[in-house]
Amino acid sequence: MKCSRAFCLAFILLAVPAVTLAQASKPEDRAEDHAMLRALLAKGAEALNSRNFDAIAPSLDPNFTIITVDNQKHVGLDAFKKYYASLFDGPSAIFSKIEAHVTADDLTHFVDPSTGITYGTSEETYHFKDGDVRTMRTRWSAVSKKEGGAWKLVTVHFSTNVLDNPVLDAAKSLTKKIAAAAAVIGLAVGVLLMFLLRRRPST
């Protein structure tokens, strides 16, 4: 009888914390946090599509870090803004527009009261400067932390399928087109110079 009572007592001591933890982790208990995180996700997507990153700056951790699909790590918003601008402007720019539609796989998983991890996918459409348009599906993960009642993004990581990457294929094709155009222009300039040199009067 004593053994039976001891077993029941041990079971209760183990079961009560487990039940309490399960109740504490119910999604409805953190409905406000989930709503705030969904709004943060929408704000991040809008910043990518509009290229207006100043609007989301207050919602980023001071050491915000993002790893992009081309495997580059950018620490701080200014570093990422410079990188993102280079995709559209400058000598190496290949895009005229990028549209991203992000979706979370599930509700944010809270590892502690002030830290959450979210996983999801992004359907992205890339408009190239030569008129080509390619769509690619990427995966992402994001870590957020709560400070002063507001959630802030700490890090975001994008990844893509290297074995099936239509955007990479298009980028390679565009690079070849640019190289071919440069070769044609170079050849034309060379021919023109030779023609002009031959026409110079001899002294």
- State the Cα–Cα distance between residues 64 and 190, nearest whole angstrom: 50
Contact by Cβ (8 Å): 77, 48: no
**Tokens 């980028």 sit on residue:** 171
Name the H helices within the chain: 2-24, 31-50, 77-86, 166-199
The answer to which of 67-76, 159-168, 169-178, 180-189 has the lowest mean pLDDT is 180-189
Task: Determine how β-strand 95-104 pairs with β-strand 133-147.
Answer: unpaired
Q: What is the pTM of this model?
A: 0.69
Q: Say what the pLDDT of residue 188 is.
A: 45
pLDDT in tens, 84-101: 999 999 888 989 999 999
- Residue 28 token pair: 């409805």
